[in-house]
Each structure stands twice: as C-alpha cells, then as structure tokens.
Amino acid sequence: MNIGKELNYQWQVNVLGRSALRLNRILMARKAGKGQLGKSRLLTPPLNTSIWTKELIGQHYLRGRYANSHGKVAWVTSGAPIEFLKALDFYLLYPENHGALCGAARAAEGLSIEAEKAGYSRDICSYARTDIGAMLSGKTPVGRLPKPDLLLACTNICQTVLHWYRVLAHHFQVPLILIDTPFIYTEMTDHAVAFVKAQLEEAIIVAEKVAGKPLDPRRFKEVTRLSMLASELWLELLRRNRHRPAPISVFDQFTQMAPIVEMRGEASTVDLYAAMLKEVDQRIEQGIGVVPEERLRLLWDNLPVWYRLRYLAEFLGAHGAVIVASTYTNAWAELGPQMDPEHPMESMARTYMYPILNRGTGEKLATMRQMIQDYHLDGAILHSDRSCKPYSVGQMDQRDRLMRQDDLPALLLEADHNDPRSYSEEQVANRLTAFMEMLEAA
Amino acid sequence: MQTAAVRIPGRIENILSWKEQGGGIAAVFPIHYPRELLRAFGYLPVEVWGPPVVESVSSAAHVQPYVCSIVRNGLSFLQSGGLELADILLVPHACDSLQGLGSLLLDFIHPRQPTLTLYLPRGRRESDLSFLAQELHALYRRLAEIHGDSPTEPELMSSIRREEAADASLAQLHRQRSRLPLSDLAFYQLIRSREYLPAERFSQLASEALDQAGPITERGIPLLLSGIVPEPMALLNLIPELGGWVAADDLASCGRRLYPAGTSQDPFLRMAERIIHAPPDPTRGSSIESRHQHLLSLAAESGARGVVFHDVKFCEPELFDLPDLRRQLAESGLPSLLLEVDLNDPLSHQLHTRLQAFLEMIV
C-alpha cells in the first residue's frame, strides 16, 4: 500500500468529504425544518430521511473518486450477486446507477452523444450509451469514476449487460466474471441452479486472485445477512403503501432505492432503511399522504423516466393520483426472503435467478395482479421503455389482460428511461390527461 | 457468373414431402439449436429467420416497433398461418427479443403447436458445457412427452453423426466457394437450404455442387459479409452488380453455424460440444477480441479486402461490438462498412450508393 496515497484517501474521503457532506446534510435538514425542501404545492414534502440517502450516495461516489488509490474496484450490474465482492472489500461501482444519476441530473443526453460519436447506435440501451459516453469522455456529474480492476456481469436483468460488459472488458483490459442466469420461462430447474452455483464458485476464485486475499466465510455470511436485512426493510417500506393515503410515492422510491441497489451488504444501508421505515410509520400515524387528497392509486411498470420524475409526480398529483406500487422498486424487495446467510452459496444461486426480469412475461402479470390486489389500485401505467426490451416485451399483452380480465384501466406510455430524445412531453401529457379523465369518470 | 447447376427443393415442397412420409415439422426460430435432437424424434427442423417482407400488423398487437424485424416478422408469420404445417415450435434463447418471443408464446399467445424453449449458455467454460448438455437432456424429455416415444442412445448418436456429416459438407462448401460455379445468390440459396432440408438431402446436394468445383476464378472484389442473415437476398445480386463478391461470411445464419463434430460418446455432451465450439458469436457471449481474430482469419483465408456488416435494425448483440470491432479491423488494415436493414424494407438507393463507394474505396 502506498502510504501517501492512503493518507490522501483518508483526508479527502473521511475528513474533508465526510465533513462537507455532513454540513450539507445539516443545511438540508434546516431547510426541511422550514418546509423549504422539495417545495411543491401538489405534493407533500419528501421524507426527512431522504437527506440521509443523499449523504450516503454522496459518500459512495466520493469513495469511488479515490477508490483506485485505496483498494480494488469492481464494476457490477445492478442485479449481480455482489456479496462475495463486498466481503473481499472491493469498492463496487454500478454503471446502471451512475447512468440513472446522469439521467436525473439531465447529463445523459450529452454523454449518450459522446458514445454515439464513437459509433454506438442510438438503438442500444441508453444506460449503456450514457456510461460508455462517460467512460470515453471522462465526463460525469460525480466528478470522477474509478477504473475497474474487475467486472461482474449477471444476465438476470438482461442480455444487454453481457454485450455492454464485453465492451468494458475490451476497453479496460480487466477480467470479466460472467454469471449467466438461465431465463426462467416456466420453472427454475435444478440444473440451472447448479449451473449458477458452479459459476459463483468459479467467480470467487477469480475475485480472490484480483483482491489478493481469500474470501473469509464469516465475512461473506455477514455481508449476506446485511443484504438480506436491507432487502427485507425495503420490502416493508414498500408494503407500507398498502395504507390509504400512501405515505411514499413510487417516484420517491425511485430515488430512495439507490442504496438497496448499490450499497447492499452495508450496515449503513440497513440503518438508513430502518430509520426511513420509522419515519414512514410516523406519516401513517399522522395520516400524511403523498398528495393532500389521494383519489387514485396507480401501478408503475418498468424503469422510471429519470429526467422527468418530478414532472410526472406533479402531473399525476394535480389529479389526486399517486403511484403507490411498482414492479421495478419491488424487484430488490423480492430478493430478501430468498437469501439465507447460513448457506450463502446455495441461496445466492436461487436468489439471483429470481429477479422479475429473469422470469416469464406471465409471471410479471401475476406480480402486477398481486400488487393490484394488495395495494388496492385503480389503474396501471406501463412505461414502454425503448431502451429496455426485456422489461417492455410482454407489456402489450399484460395491459390487454389487465383491461379485459381484471377490468383495470391500463395505459402504455412510450418513453425511454434515460434518453430524453425518445420522449415527447406533449404526447405524454395528452395520454396521461385522457387516462386521468377515464379514471376519474370510472 | 453461372448459377447453381443443382436443383434445390423449395421449403413448401420439402415440408409436404416430409409430412407425406409421416414425419413431423419443427418450426425453429434463430439461432443455435440441436438439429440432431429434433430429427431423432422424427421432426424436420425448418427455420424461421423473419421471413422477410411479411405483413407485420398482427405482431404489432404483441411487440413494440423497437423490436427487431426477425421477431416481429416471425410472430406475424406464425399468426397469419404461415407455420400451420409445423407440429412444434422451438424458440432458442439468443437475445432479449427472442427471449420475449418465447415467453409471449408460452404465456399469452398460446399457438396451436406446443412451444419449446432452450437456454444457451453465454460462455465456453466447463460449466457452460455441462449445463448445455443438461438443458438438451431437458429438451429431450419434453420432446418425449410430446411425441409419446423417445429415441434410444444409439439412434441419437446416429442422428448426430448424420448432422455432423451435413455440417462437414457445409463447411466444405464455404471453403470451396471460390471454386464453385455459383453466383453469390446461388451459393447462399444452396447453403441456406440447410435451414430446411433433411441433413442427408443437404449432404447430397452439397456433394453434387462440390463435384462441380473447378479452378479458383476471379469474380470481383472479395468481401467478408458479417451480420445476422443475408436478407433481403437482393443484396447478393447487388454486390456482384457493383463489382464485388462474397468471399467469406460471419453471418449468424450461415458462417457462425459451422458446427464442428463433437468428440464425446455421450450424445448430450456431444451435441453441447458442437454448439459451444462453433465459431464466435456475440449472442453466445464471444468476446470482441475473439471475433476480431476470427474475422481477420476469415479475411486472410478468403482474401477479403473489406468487411460489410449487414445488420438487422435494433439488434443489440451486433450493435454493441461494432465500434471496437471496426476500429480494430481498420487498425489491422481491413476497412469495413455498416449497413442496417429492416427485413420488410427493400434495398434502398442509399445502401446501393454506400456499397458502391465502399467497393470503389477498397478496389
């Protein structure tokens, strides 16, 4: 270890950075106390714990900025089994989350253009274009991204990541671990589970080599336990929206979900969600909902439209409509009950084959139907996301079944999760207006 | 240039003849699958690569317009009765869109025929081989349920050897193409008959064509054609018209399916070996570097002076690799051209001009 670099890391991250982020948290808390945080006449103020989330995410990217001088770095996909990497003390960067952050910060279009200038087609995923653009240009709203020593791609969310991470491996010339999770058309077969387990065993050997140390089984179990706890708390948090009025909108969940995705396996994530759950419970006790008068409760399917979260929340809020459940935020909540810290390898294989995107289109409809029942929903908005084929293919039939068999109004909304060039506000507004009129008339 | 002196039976004629003999038909979507397994159950695999120029309205009720035309057309073709003669459907996993198609058929569309799926692993590791062998065994069990009977191990091995022989003939045709008196179009009509002819019939046709091999003839600027499928086939007339010829290919429907013979005496492992050890293919997770080396080697063997990437719009597996692949090929002295098509569109004048300019550049 280079002592000078390590001292610089500690100074920048744990002294200067931490103090700056804490100061920012205090200032924001003061603002929240005066009712000036996220001021909107249509929506209730965001959760106070959202300030904490922001601080955690800030710390995460701050650590990332100096991570190469401190230890080993792995870039991983959002649904990857990261517990063994965490236990080996890798700093984990999630390019998809970084892509989402760029989308919310309205930086994705410019970065996509950087990728397109290098020859990447506009027909590939906009997360991938955003991150490849950041990789090629060195531009990012978070200052600087650390270079990876290792890549981990898991196909449980899409095949896109397989191709995307091949590009990253080619660019950075570092080992790529592939965890190939066979798609579950009808049932999870034993040979598929054995296949994923065998890959995890092979992956640990590669990761240990890059980390330069063996995996400590106790630490592995502990990280798995923390992942499970965070996921279970996240599930509880989402379930609180079964109450009327719903205490936290899905648009808020989209921003509050960052730690469950990119900081799984950390104690601070468990603490954050425990505090958030407490605050949500207080809101329920006080009868505080997302909008002053909740009239319509809706489902959101697919990724968010990152660059128009607030617009969409307020547009719906103006009609007393709240998105209270989402198949997307639920994806990380479903992981917890599958995990078993006492048998991390076995449970990991099953857990990471289980995400909604690795199961059939009929399974997604079943999940939606369960949510409609559990959350007492009046309608569904299915975001047909040009950039995400595995999430979007099937939506036309799912919508058709919801409308015909469940008598539930459902709208297919054309957009793209990160590229505003594939989003037409006028068309979206027209379609949403008509949908609201239909729901209000029902 | 002469055209094929061998008569290639048409798809329908071949299907009807097979059915008259009491055989079944398996309609198979792209890309990789074990022909030998289907044949061992008496099903003749007939592949569905689109097909091109299909009225795609019916699939528009199920898939979005940003899904590739191979999936859209295949589904429309099925829904308009184009696959009525098929007894079973097989949708191998190749990408997110074909995954979606398989799932839609199983969960919502429910075609008359049983729908089978097959997951293909994305690596070449021991674990991939072992998984694929088990996946093929699961497909075997499913076919046995549908068929009511199942082939013995020797029958399976015999079927494998028959397909291995046909694949050896196919590889020979690829290697000998510069000696064959066939135009580009005729050559591809011949090798693409592997998509629907019984292996033994294809081997016979290949042998007849190979008997006509003569000395190497100069026939234009040699090109390497890469991509998914050579559709519209008019491209294969346009290339010679503009002074080029297809000297080799890296097409998912053609050159990437030159399956080598297996070595294992276990039929399932042997079928898995054949697929796992096929030439590099992004849909099976091949690295960009392995694809680069493969293209360089194809160009060196065939004398190709440039690569034409002929891709179907919205095909992510192809599109991701292209920037790095093209840059590396250029650094290796092999220029390339990217043409994107939709199976329902005719060849545009713009495509004509770009191809012409590319050929002028590399002449």
Q: Is residue B115 part of a domain?
A: yes
Given this model, what pLDDT does residue B149 score? 93
- Residues 305 to 334 of B: which have CB under 8 A from any A CB? 313-314, 316-317, 319-324, 326-327
Q: Is the pLDDT of residue B301 over 50?
A: yes
Which residues in A lie closer than 8 A to residue B313 (C-beta atoms)?
123
* Digit-coded pLDDT (tens) for B238-289: 999 999 999 999 999 999 999 999 999 999 999 999 999 999 999 999 999 9
Rounded percentage of chain B residues whose pLDDT exceeds 90: 93
A119, A158, A186 member nearest B106 (Cβ): A186
**Tally of domains within chain B:** 1
B322 versus A345: which is more confidently predicted? B322
Average pLDDT over residues A182-197: 96
The answer to the question of residue B38 being in a domain is yes
B311 three-state secondary structure:
strand
Q: Is residue B135 part of a domain?
A: yes
| A128 vs B contacts (CB less than 8 Å) | 320
* Residue from the list A120, A170, A185 with its beta carbon closest to the beta carbon of B103: A185
- Domain with B46 in it: 11-147
Residue B100: name the closest of B54, B62, B53, B50 by CA: B62
Of B96, B131, B327, the CB nearest to A390: B96
Q: Do A191 and B134 count as a contact with CB atoms less than 8 A apart?
A: yes
- Nearest chain B Cα distance for residue A340, angstroms: 24
Name the residue in chain B with its Cα closest to that of A157.
B96
Could you tell me if B254 and B202 are in contact, meaning their C-beta atoms sit under 8 angstroms apart?
A: no
Q: How far apart are CA B319 and CA A109, in angstroms?
A: 19
For B181, other C-beta atoms within 10 Å of its C-beta total 16
Tell me which residue in B96, B106, B322 faces A360 most closely, judged by beta carbons. Answer: B106
Of B61, B119, B326, the CB nearest to A396: B61
At A153 the three-state DSSP class reads strand
Q: Which of A123, A160, A393 sits opposite B104 (nearest CB)?
A: A393
In angstroms, the Cα distances linking A276 to A89, A273, A294, B301 are 27, 5, 22, 64
Q: Which residues contact B196 (CB under 8 A, 6 or more apart)?
A: B11, B14, B15, B44, B45, B46, B47
Contact B320 A120 (CB under 8 A): yes
- Asked if residue B345 is part of any domain, the answer here is no
Res B322 pLDDT > 60: yes
What confidence tens digit (pLDDT) does each residue in A61-82 have?
999 999 999 999 999 999 999 9
Please give the DSSP secondary-structure letter assigned to residue B248. Answer: E
Dihedral of CA atoms A276, A280, A282, A287 in degrees, nearest 10, equals: 160
Q: What is the pLDDT of residue B5?
A: 64
Mean local confidence (pLDDT), A318-337: 94
pLDDT at A306 over 80: yes
Name the residue range of residue A425's domain: 3-441
pLDDT of residue A410: 98
Asked if residue B230 is part of any domain, the answer here is no
**Average pLDDT of A313-320?**
96
Looking at chain A, the whole-number percentage of residues with pLDDT higher than 90 is 87
**B322 contacts in A (CB within 8 Å)?**
119, 121
Query: How many angstroms separate the Cα of A94 from the Cα of each of A76, A97, B285?
Result: 5, 5, 21
Note whether A118 contacts B323, CB cutoff 8 Å.
yes
**Inter-chain touch B97–A389, beta carbons under 8 Å:** yes
- Please give the interface size between A and B, counted as residue pairs whose CB atoms are below 8 Å apart: 152
Question: pLDDT at residue B174 above 80?
Answer: yes
**Averaged over A292-316, what is the pLDDT?**
96
| Mean pLDDT, rounded, for A1-29 | 87
With 70 as the cut, is the pLDDT of residue A333 above it? yes
pLDDT at B158: 98
Cα–Cα distance measured from residue B158 to residue A179, given in angstroms and rounded to the nearest whole number: 35
> What is the per-residue pLDDT for B58?
87
Does some domain include residue B96? yes
Contact A397 B313 (CB under 8 A): no
Q: Which of A158, A167, A170, A303 to mutate to test the interface with B (most CBs of B within 10 A)?
A: A170
The pLDDT of A217-236, averaged and rounded, is 96
The total number of structural domains that make up chain A: 1
Q: Does B210 touch chain A (CB under 8 A)?
A: no
- The predicted structure's pLDDT at residue B2: 45
Confidence of residue A207 (pLDDT cuts 50, 70, 90): very high
pLDDT at B331 over 60: yes
Range in A96-100, A305-309, B213-217 with the lowest mean pLDDT: B213-217
Q: Is B58 on the interface with A (CB under 8 A)?
A: no
Structure tokens at B215: 């000395």
Say whether residue B145 is in contact with chain A using an 8 A CB cutoff.
Answer: no
Q: Residue A200 and residue A195: Cα distance in Å, rounded?
A: 9
pLDDT above 80 (res B131): yes
Rounded CA gap, A264 and B317, in Å? 30
Task: Give A304→chain B minimum CA distance, Å.
Answer: 18
Domain of B84, CATH number, reads 3.40.50.11890
Q: For all residues of chain B together, what is the average pLDDT?
A: 96
pLDDT for res B1: 43
Instruction: State the pLDDT at residue A42.
Output: 87
**In this predicted structure, which of A257-261, A335-339, A423-427 has the lowest mean pLDDT?**
A335-339
- In this complex, do A202 and B125 lie within 8 Å of one another by their Cβ atoms? yes
Please judge whether B288 and A159 are an interchain contact, meaning their C-beta atoms are less than 8 angstroms apart: no
In a domain, B264, yes or no: no
The Cα A288–Cα A305 span in angstroms is 26
Task: Return the pLDDT at A1.
Answer: 66
- Give the residue on B whose Cα is nearest the Cα of A175: B287
Lowest mean pLDDT among A328-342, A408-422, B182-196: A328-342
